Structure 1
Amino acid sequence: MPIVNRVADLLPDIVSWRRDIHAHPELGFDVNRTSAVVADRLREFGCDQVVSGLGKTGVVGVITGKRAASDDRAKVIGLRADMDALPIEEKTNLPYASKTEGFMHACGHDGHTAMLLGAARYLAETRDFAGTVVLIFQPAEEIGMGAVAMLKDDLMERFGVEQVYGMHTLPGLPIGAFGIRRGAVLAATDSIEIKIEGRGGHPGMPHKSVDAILVGAQLITAVQQILSQNVDPLEAAGITFHEIRAGSTHRVVAETAELRGSMRTLTPEVRQLVKKRLREVVAGIGQVTGARIDLNLESDHGVVFNHAAQTEMAIRVAKDVAGEDNVVETLPVLGGEDFAFMSEARPGAFIWCGNGDSAGLHQAAYDFNDEAIQFGTSYWIKLAENTLAA
C-alpha cells in the first residue's frame, strides 16, 4: 500500500494519540505517563525491542528491516522526538486542552511524539528497508538536559546509531511545507547569572550608598552594547535578561540585586568573544561603581548543526513528500534545542515542519496543527526507507 494511503488510514489514530498527550502534559524528566503510553504503543506495533528508562524517562524502540543490505553491514539511523511540555497555563479552550493546571504542550512536542509513533507503526508493519531504525523518544528537552541524559546512558553505542535526525513544528511555515538549512540551524545557549552586592542606605543620602538596582541597570545597557559594538553585524548573537530581583522595602537603597538571562550565538568564535567581553564589562562596572559583582556563565548546549550528507538526504526526502516548491531554506534561529548534543555525537539533520498560521511557540494560545501530521509522519517513513535503501 502506498505510504500516502496508509498514513491517511492511520491519521485518526495519530490525531487521537496527539490529543491525549496534549491533554496530559508533563514537565522535564517527569514524563512518566507519556513514556508509558509511548512504550505501550511501540510494543503493540511489534517493535523488535522497546527499552524504557533511558535517560531517566526516555523510551527507545528498535525496528529492523526485512531487506538485505547491499554491503556487508546494514546501517542504523536514529529518529528523535521530544515528549515534555512547558509550565504555561493553556488558553486555547480546546476540548482536549490541558487537564493539568499550569502545564501545557506549547511547543508541539505532543505532535512530534505522535508523528514518530505513526511512523513507527507503519515501519513495523512494512519493514521495507535494509538496516535498523532506532526510534528515540526524549524527555526534558525544554530544560536542555534530556538529550545529555540519554547519551550518558549510552544511547548511541547501545543501539549502534550512526546518524540521527530531528524535526520540529514551525508556526508561520505553511502546512505541507518543510524548512531546512545546511550548517547552523539553532543557537548555542549559555545561562547568565549575575549577583550584585552594593551598599544599602537612605535614599536622601545616595552618595553614602551603592545602589544595586542602578548598577544592574548599567549592566543591562552595557551588555547590549557588546552586541552592537563588538559583534560583526553579519554575525548573529543575542543576550536577554529574563529575571531581575532587587530591593525589599520602601525608602531603602537596594543593597543586592540578581540578574538572570541567556546568551545565544551561532559560531564558537562569537560565543567566546561575547563571553570574554561580558566578563570584562562586569569587572569594569564593578570597579567604577564600587559594587561587588559575581558573574556565573553556564553552558547549556551548543549549536544544532546540520551535516552535509544527512541534510541532502533530508532535503531530498522532504521534496518527495511535499513537492519541490514546498521545501524552503530557512535562516538560522537564535532559539536553542538540546538536539545539539545528539548532532554533536553523530552526524545528522534537523528539519522544520510547517504548522501554518498558528500562535507562536511557547505561547498560551499555541496548538500543534493536526493537518501537519500526514506530512511529518510521511517524512519520517520516507527518511527511513531512503536512508536505509537496500
Structure 2
Amino acid sequence: MFDSSHIDEAVAWRHDLHRHPEIAYQETRTSDMIARLLDGWGWQVHRGLATTGVVATLGGGNGPRIGLRADIDALPIHEVTGLAHASTIPGMMHACGHDGHTAMLLLAARRIAAEGVTGGTVHLIFQPAEESEAGARVMIEDGLLDLFPCDSVYGIHNWPGLAPGRMVARDDAMMAAFAVFDITITGKGGHGAMPEQSDGVIAAAARIAAAAQEIPARSLSPLTPGVLSITQIHSGSAYNICPDTAALAGTARWFDADAGDTLERRLSEVAHGIAAAQGCTARIDYQRRYPATINTPAEAAIARDIGEAMGLETTTADPSMASEDFAFMLEKVPGAYLWLGGAREGANPGLHATSYDFNDAILPTGAEFWVRLARRATRG
C-alpha cells in the first residue's frame, strides 16, 4: 500500500504537470522533473531518446526484463475547466490524462526503488509525442530496445468511459490503426454571379466529404470495422467569388490490413472521380501513422490476473477505433496495453475534451498495478 503522504505528493506532481503542458518533442520541463525525481530515488536515468524521452532502469544481471511505459505529452487544445490547476499555457492542455499516467508511474517508481528489484530488470519508459507524432516509433529508432532490452512491455491509459475499479485487457486488438489525409481540389475560379464560367471546386469538395464517409459502409463487410471521417474543409475568401481551390482533411481507422488498403484505394478513386466530374483535379496526401495496437494473450492474461488480485473487475470489452503509438512497441516485444477505469461522478468529459481532467482518485490504483506487475515479472 502507499503512504497517504506519497499519494498526496503524486497528486501534486500531476497538478504541476497539468499546469505546465508541453506538446510533442517539446516536453523539456516535464522530462526534467521526471529525471530529477527518478535520480533521487536511485534509478539509473538515461535521457535523449526521441529528444525528450526518459528511460530509468533498476536491477540488472540475469532474469526477466520488463518495460513499463507512460506517455508524457499534452495536446494543442485550449482548456476551459477553470480548475485551480488548469493549464497556464494558452492553447495547450493535458486533455488525455498523460499527466496522470506520468504521475502514476512515478508513484510506482518510488515504491519499486524502496522495495528493490531482485531477479530481473525494470525499465521505466517515459515517452514523448504520443499524440499523432509517433514518439514510440522514434524512441525505438533511436535505440530504445537495443539499449534497454525488454522481454515484455506494458502501457496503461485512463478510460473515462469505465468506472473506477474496472480494467480492460484484451487478448488481441485494443485500438485501431490510423492514417491522416489531405485532399486538395483545384479548378478554375470566377465570379459568383456566373458560376457556369468556373469549375465546381466547392461542389466537388462537398460531394467528396459526403461520399468519403460512406466508403466503409459500401466497401467493407459489415463484420470488418473501418472508419473514414472528413474533419476539415477550407475554401473561399468572399461572397462573390467561386474559388479555384478547396482543401479537405480527415482520418481513417481500421484493424485488418486489407481493410486499410481498401479505405486508401477507395478514397483516392472517389476523390479523383468526383473532382473530374466537376471539371477539377484532386491531389491526395495519404499518410499511415500508427499500426493497430495488438496485445499478446499471455501478457494480457498476466495483467488480468494482477487486476483481479487487486479486486478490480477485469473485462475483455470491445476494442476502440482510437489509436495509440504504443502499437510500435507491441510490434517488437510481447506485451499488453490496458484501460483503467477513470470515470468521475456527475459530468464526465471524455478524452480530448476541452473540459477534461484526469481523475486523481485512480492514481494509487494504477501505481499499485505497476508495482505488482514489476514484482511478478522480476520475481522480486
- Normalising by the smaller structure, the TM-score range is over 0.9
SS at match of 1:260: strand
Q: Does 1:135 align with 2:124?
A: yes
Q: In 1, Cα distance between the equivalents of 2:94 and 2:231?
A: 21
- Return the match for 1:285 from 274, 283, 299: 274
* Residue matched to 1:341: 328
Match in the other structure for 2:14: 18
Letter in 2 for 1:54: L
Alignment match of 2:38 (pick from 25, 37, 42): 42
The CA distance in 2 between the partners of 1:192 and 1:154, in whole Å, is 29
Q: Distance in 2 between matches of 1:197 and 1:122?
A: 60
Question: Could you say which residue in structure 1 is the equivalent of 2:359?
Answer: 369
Determine if the alignment matches structure 1 residue 223 to structure 2 residue 219: no
Structure 1 residue 374 displacement after superposition: 1.2
Work out whether 1:299 is the aligned partner of 2:288: yes
Structure 2 counterpart of 1:51 = 46
Secondary structure of the corresponding residue to residue 150 of structure 1:
helix
Q: Secondary structure at the match of 2:249?
A: strand
C-alpha displacement at 1:9, in angstroms?
Answer: 5.1
What is the rounded CA distance, in whole Å, between the counterparts of 1:121 and 1:313 in structure 2?
Answer: 23
Matches within 5 A, 1:99-248: 99-248=88-237
Q: Distance in 2 between matches of 1:41 and 1:82?
A: 17
1:123 partner amino acid:
I
1:350 aligned residue (331, 337, 350) = 337
In structure 1, the residue matched to 2:244 is 255
> Which 5+ residue runs of structure 1 have no aligned equivalent?
none
**Mapped partners of 1:76, 1:7: distance in 2:** 27
On the 8 A contact 1:8/1:374 being kept in 2, the answer is: no
2:27 is matched by which residue type in structure 1? V
Task: Tell whether the 8 Å contact from 1:144 to 1:337 is kept in structure 2 after alignment.
Answer: no
In the TM superposition, residue 233 of structure 1 has moved relative to its aligned partner by: 1.2
1:103-139: per-residue Cα shift (whole Å, max 9, x none)? 1111000000001011111111112542001000011
2: distance between equivalents of 1:15 and 1:287? 57
Deviation at 1:371, TM superposition (A): 0.6
Instruction: Report the count of equivalent residues.
Output: 377
- Residue 182 of structure 2: SS of its match in structure 1? strand
CA distances 1:176-230 after superposition (whole Å, capped 9, x unpaired): 2212212111111101110100111223332222121110011111112211111
Classify the secondary structure of the residue corresponding to 2:321: coil
**For residues 92 and 192 of structure 2, what CA distance do their matches in structure 1 show?**
42
Question: Structure 2 CA distance, aligned partners of 1:253 and 1:100?
Answer: 39
Give the counterpart letter for 2:175 in structure 1: L
Contact 1:307-1:347 at 8 Å conserved across structures = yes
Amino acid at match of 2:239: H
SS in 1 for 2:282: strand
- 1:245-304 CA-to-partner distances (Å, cap 9, x unmatched) read 111122111210011111111111211111111122122223322211011110111001
- Match status 1:387 vs 2:374: no
Between 299-308 and 206-215, the greater mean CA deviation after superposition: 206-215
Q: Secondary structure at the match of 1:123?
A: helix
Distance 1:344 1:7, change over 3 A: farther
> Given that residues 212 and 229 in structure 2 are in contact (C-alpha distance below 8 angstroms), is that contact kept between their aligned partners in structure 1?
no
The more displaced of 107-116 and 200-209 is 200-209
Conserved 8 A contact 1:226-1:278: yes
Between the aligned partners of 1:284 and 1:296, the Cα distance in structure 2 is 16
After superposition, what is the alpha-carbon deviation per residue over 1:303-339, rounded to whole angstroms, capped at 9, x for unaligned?
Answer: 011111111111111111234xx11222111111111
SS, match of residue 48 in structure 2: strand
- For the 8 Å contact 2:228–2:263, the answer to whether it is kept is no
Cα offsets for 1:61-113 (capped at 9, x unmatched)? 00117xx9xxxx41111110011111112122221111112211110000000
Q: Within the alignment, does 1:31 sit opposite 2:31 as a pair?
A: no
Give distance in 2, aligned partners of 1:133 and 1:194: 45
Q: 3-state DSSP class of the match of 1:33? A: helix
Verify the 8 A CA contact 1:7 1:378 in the aligned structure 2: no
Kept in 1, the 8 Å contact 2:167–2:314? The answer is yes
> Corresponding residue for 1:327?
314
Rounded to whole Å, the distance in 1 between the matches of 2:259 and 2:360 is 39
Structure 2, unaligned runs of 5 or more: none
Post-superposition shift, 1:351? 0.3
Does the CA-based 8 Å contact 2:130-2:324 persist in structure 1? Answer: yes
Q: Distance in 1 between matches of 2:191 and 2:291?
A: 45
> Equivalents in 2 of 1:177, 1:322: separation in Å?
9
Q: Distance in 1 between matches of 2:48 and 2:340?
A: 28
